[in-house]
Every structure is written in structure tokens, then in C-alpha cells.
Structure 1
Amino acid sequence: MIEIWAEITKPKGNDLNFKRCDPDHPLDLFLGREADGKYILFLEGLDERLEGLPSLAGVEMFCRADRHGTTALVLRLVDVEQETLFKSLCEDLLQGTRKLEFRANSTGAFLIVKRMRRWQELFQRRKTKLLSRQQIIGLVGELVFLQDVLNQFDDAVAALRSWRGPYGDEQDFAIGDTIVETKTQLSTADQALKISSEAQLDTTSGPIIVIHQTIASTERASPNSLTLNEHVAEIRSTLETASPVAIDFLDAGLLAAGYQKRSEYDEEAWEPVTRTIFEIENDFPRLVPGNMPTGIERVKYQIGLGACREFQRSDEWLDERIFNA
């Protein structure tokens, strides 16, 4: 979606210049610019007005009548200094509603409000709270794999779009029809796959690959280690050369992950140690909704790596499966 921002010019007079976000998206979502030049995202075709809507720094949300006599849910950028935030928010809302039924606009509106509240909470925490050490380890693991994806993809925007972990999706990456989940832990910890829900390894949504990575905390002088800030800077440098427009997608993911550059993230560096790839097949040891007793839900559990060895795959298999497909 970021590619079409430049196509939406400031309208003449009091008109609204707008364009459908994506012709393949199931909802009636549009990007536009108002007469004063402000950007808006709006969803048409709601059955009723929504009340008690959240707001975000520099972004307001409200309902108004649309051109069809129904209701539109509108997000407006009111502070131009928050343009990157607004574009990141719009991209997340577009991707987060992509699997809804065709023209389920009222359902989509409630989902958009829910995700907006999540962004509101995330943005408030981001101002005052550092990521925990475990969150840093998880983000480093995602960035390590993201760099691999960028190295393999000719289209940097497509590579960044595949990164879904920060947005609260069940899995970290969606590459073509394959879902990739990264599990990263310290090399000194007991080795296991920590699963956050019964849906995370449920292949009814598509083929799933789990990449288990271990990293070590090292001195900054180590030649093979990078701090969290350095990982981000390395990817940003790659994008500045390959596709500057993709930087907006990177910023969107980092913002959703709760990251902003801070000196504290340079206090500890991380060195890759091992990477093990698993293909989730029918007899892979796991809990999924279809094999759980009625009433049991929201489970968290871990799987010993020893029980997964027969499902281990090579780096060459991974390249062929998702990068050369």
C-alpha cells in the first residue's frame, strides 16, 4: 500500500482525492487526501456509527456519512510529523483485515478499532518502557531471519510485507502459502520450542515451518555479534540501497514490536550459534484445536527438541521450499 501514497495528490477546491487501497482486498477501504492536504484512510459501508473510538498521537478516528448513505469509519492524520506512524498504522490495518469475508465492512470496522486500541497501548508503552531481555532476543531472532529473506528476495517490499510477527499474528512470517515461525533462545538455556497457543502450529491455515535459533550474549568487540540497534541499522542500510520505499515497512514492523532506537539496546550484543529447521507435518508433536478436549483453550506449552528430530530439514530444503518455490 505504501507505493500508492505518492499517487494521491492534494485535491483542488473542496474535493476529496481518494483511491481504493487494494482492488483485491475484501473491504471497501480507501486512502485519500482532503482539501487541506491531510491524509485519511476510510472504510465505507458500515451499518451504524461506532462510539467511544480510540485516538493516537497525531491521528484521529471518527465516523461520518459516506457517499452511499451508509457510514464510513475514518482515520485522519492531523500531525504531519506523525506521517510515518500513520502509514505504518494503515498498512497494519490493511493486512490485518485481509482475510475477512467480501464486503464484511461492519465486521472489519470493529477489527480496525480493536487493532487501533492495540496501537494506542503499544505507543504509550513505547514512550516509557524498554523491551525486556526476552523480547529483545525474540526480535533479534526475527531480524536475523528477515535479513535472510531480504537477501533472497528481489522485491524488498514483498520481503518486509512477509514479516507479520510484530502485528500480533500467530506466526512471524507469511511467505507465499507458507507460514514461518521463528523461535529464538539463549544457547545456554534448555533447548525447546515454546509454543504460545494451540493455533500456532495448526496447519489448517497453511504449511508451517519452525526455525529454532540459539544466540549467545557476547562482548561488543566480537566480530560475529551485533547489538539490537546494529541489527536494525544493518537492515536499514540494505534497504537504503535496494528499496528506500521498503524502509516504511521496516519502520512499521519495528514500531509495532515496541522498538525505538535507545542507547540501552547497545549494552548487549548477540551472536548466532545454531539454527535448526522443522517442517510441521501431521504427526509432529503438538497441540492444535482439533486434538484438544472441549473447553480447553489458550494453552502455552513447550516441545523438547529431541521429539522433533525426524521432522528436521536442511538449509537447502528451506531455500528450495520458500525461496525458490
Structure 2
Amino acid sequence: MGLQIDQQQILVAWKALSSTDNHEGWGVFPLYKHRNWSLLASYNLSEHEEAIFLDIKYSQTYESRISLPVAQGFRVQRFNEETRKGFALIRQVDGDLDLFTKIIVDVCNTIIQYQELNENKLVAVFINRINAWLSFMSKGGHELSQEAELGLIGELEMISSLISLNLPISEVLNTWKGPLDGLKDFEIGSGAIETKSTLSNQGFIAKINSLEQLDDSEKSPLFLNGYRFSLGSAGKTLTERINLIREQLNDYPAELTKFNNLLLRNGYLESEKENYTRKFKTEHTYFWWVDEKFPRLVPGNIAVNIRQAKYEIDLTPFINQSMDLSLVLQKLGIGNCGIN
């Protein structure tokens, strides 16, 4: 993966830059240099702002397509000067330094991981990784709860299942809408799949978080996917499951970048990976067609003045009505050649 930049390097560089005799402009300290770009620790001497600078000569035609991320406490600034061209990620006075440093370390090492990409693609990696962090922060910026961990395990199982059926990897990742706050976990073909997971060894209770979750009025057909997991030494941790998918994406750098960003948006931090010690073994897989006979609450079958609802469905009586994923994909209009 190349040279790793660590938190101590950046903090030492900022401290050295902030203690110079100059009182205006940007001070810079080189952290990593590639053929056509470099990463610099930066410090705004007049505004007392820490930053990281990606000094890179990307295409002018790409300029108008770049939308700069905005967040409270941080900003991304574009530089287009004779001496410097590229982007700075800057901590403003109200930004949390510890969190900012963690973001900087991750963004720098993500850039280094994909250093062989061309300049335009590397700028996209930089911007997309920052956007993923902003999404993570907007959801609380905390380690996954046990319930959220179980939910992510189920979605990863679904991704693995789709890849194992030889669907193009880029198309599989494009269907994964859960981390992007989609109403359904997977929008696939003409319809969608909503994934639920349980650790219960008897029956299957699905928690439905909104009236829209099982509504098929916009995406049809809709399927509810259930996974029953058990805990024990025969299973795999969340991180182990993530790494298995990463191995399948090794030859697809753009898809690997997207997968890692989706994980971060979902709340998975690489720096917290040692905390996920539970080992999950997949015991049973179910797929149910959510049609007019399926028990559900949706806007079309309740009183109009009911605006929100969370509820549970006991799917135990439907276990024998489960169908195979291959039949589900067929009903979604997907053949072996991929997603239409």
C-alpha cells in the first residue's frame, strides 16, 4: 500500500509550521511526493488554521465538475496559483482537532493507496473520501452499535451472494443504497431488495423502520431478504467479511474505492476494526416476495393521517414460502449477463 502517514507526523509538522517567525500566508511541510503530485501538511499563519494540501495538476476540463464538500468546522478550498494548484482540506477554528487529524490521516493514506490512478481520478478519490467522512459525521460519528453491526453483516452477505452469481462487481455496488440513506437497501433491476438480519435461533421477526420500507409503489417487485446468523468460533467477524469482499475487488481499484467509501458512510471505521470481535456464521437465507398478500404497513393501506410508524413482522409462518436468489433476480429482470 506504500508509505503510511501517521497522526504523529502530521501533528509534529503543524507544530513546527505554527512556531515559525512568519505571521501571514501558508506554511507547508512535505509529507509524501509522487511523480505528478504531493501531499503537504499546511498551516495558515494569519488565520491559525491546520490543513492538508493535495498539490496536483489536474485537467482544466474537470474543474467545473468538482463540487467541494462543506461541513461545520471544516472546509475544502481550491487553489489555482502559479506556485500551487490543487485542494486544501482546512480545519476552521471551531473544528475538532482530534477528529480532523483522524480524517487527514485517513484521506492521505487513501490517496497513497490509489497513487497510480491518473490526476483527475485521484482528485475524485480525495473529494469522495471527504464526502464519505462528512456522511459518517452527520450520522453521529460513532462506532457501530451491535444492532447496526448485525445489519451491516446482512448487507455484506447480500453483496457476496450477488458477486458469487457472477454479476458485474461495479453493478453490484451501484445497487447498494443502504449507506446512501436509500429507502431500500438494494435497488436492483426494476425493483428492490430490503435486507433484515436476526440472531434468534427460532422464528424470524423483522423490524420495519418506516412506512416506506416495504412500499413497492415506486420500485417493483420488492423482496424482503432475511438472514439468520449464529455467533461462535465457526463464524467470521465484520472485518473478516469486509476483507473477503475487498480481496474480490483488488483488481478493480475504482470499485474498491467506492466500497470503502460506502463502508465509511455506513459507520465502519478502519481504525475501530479491532473492536468488532463477534463472529457471525450464516445459518439460513430467506427471500420473500412483498406483494399485496404480504403483511405490511404502507402509506396506501393505512389512514391518511398516520404519518410515521415503526413495527415488527413475525415472518415465521412464511419461512416455507422463501424462494432462491436466482429466482428473485429473474423476477427483477436480471440475467447472468448483468443488471439491465
Distance 1:216 1:56 in 2: 42
Counterpart in 2 of 1:213?
Answer: 227
Instruction: Encode CA deviations 1:205-257: one digit per residue, 9 max, x unaligned.
Output: 112111111101112xx2xx21011011000000003x222011101210110
Counterpart in 2 of 1:17?
Answer: 61
* Greater C-alpha radius of gyration: 2
1:255 aligns to 2:264 (yes or no): yes
| AA in 1 matched with 2:58 | K
TM-score (ref. length: structure 2): 0.62
Return closer, same or farther for 1:205/1:319 CA change in 2, 3 Å cut-off: closer
Aligned residue pairs: how many? 240
Residues 231 and 281 of structure 2 are in contact (CA less than 8 Å); yes or no, is this contact kept in structure 1? yes
Q: Residues 17-166 of structure 1: matches in 2 within 5 Å?
A: 17-18=61-62, 31=65, 40-41=66-67, 54-55=71-72, 57=74, 59=76, 77-79=87-89, 81=108, 84=125, 86-88=127-129, 118-122=135-139, 125-126=140-141, 129-166=142-179
Tell me, which stretches of 5 or more residues in structure 2 are unaligned? 1-55, 79-85, 90-106, 112-124
TM-score (ref. length: structure 1): 0.65
3-state SS of paired residue (2:217): helix
Q: CA deviation at 1:59?
A: 3.3
Instruction: Encode CA deviations 1:88-141: one digit per residue, 9 max, x unaligned.
Output: 566x8xxxxxxxxxxxxxxxxxxxxxxx9755423xx43xx3211111110011
Instruction: Encode CA deviations 1:138-188: one digit per residue, 9 max, x unaligned.
Output: 001100111111222442111111111111111111112120111001033
Return closer, same or farther for 1:273/1:143 CA change in 2, 3 Å cut-off: same
Residues 277 and 313 of structure 1 are in contact (CA less than 8 Å); yes or no, is this contact kept in structure 2? yes
1:312 aligns to 2:322 (yes or no): yes
3-state SS of paired residue (2:67): strand
Q: CA deviation at 1:77?
A: 4.9
Distance 1:216 1:316 in 2: 24
| AA in 1 matched with 2:62 | F
Q: CA deviation at 1:315?
A: 3.9
Return closer, same or farther for 1:9/1:235 CA change in 2, 3 Å cut-off: same
Distance 1:217 1:307 in 2: 24
Residues 229 and 280 of structure 2 are in contact (CA less than 8 Å); yes or no, is this contact kept in structure 1? yes
Counterpart in 2 of 1:181?
Answer: 194
3-state SS of paired residue (2:160): helix
Distance 1:141 1:199 in 2: 20
Residues 210 and 310 of structure 2 are in contact (CA less than 8 Å); yes or no, is this contact kept in structure 1? yes
RMSD of the TM alignment (CA)?
A: 3.1
Return closer, same or farther for 1:176/1:267 CA change in 2, 3 Å cut-off: same
Distance 2:74 2:161 in 1: 34
Q: Percent identity?
A: 23
Q: CA deviation at 1:310?
A: 7.6
1:171 aligns to 2:212 (yes or no): no
Counterpart in 1 of 2:99?
Answer: none
Residues 136 and 266 of structure 2 are in contact (CA less than 8 Å); yes or no, is this contact kept in structure 1? no
Counterpart in 2 of 1:4?
Answer: none
Q: CA deviation at 1:316?
A: 4.0
Residues 199 and 289 of structure 1 are in contact (CA less than 8 Å); yes or no, is this contact kept in structure 2? yes
Residues 198 and 229 of structure 2 are in contact (CA less than 8 Å); yes or no, is this contact kept in structure 1? yes
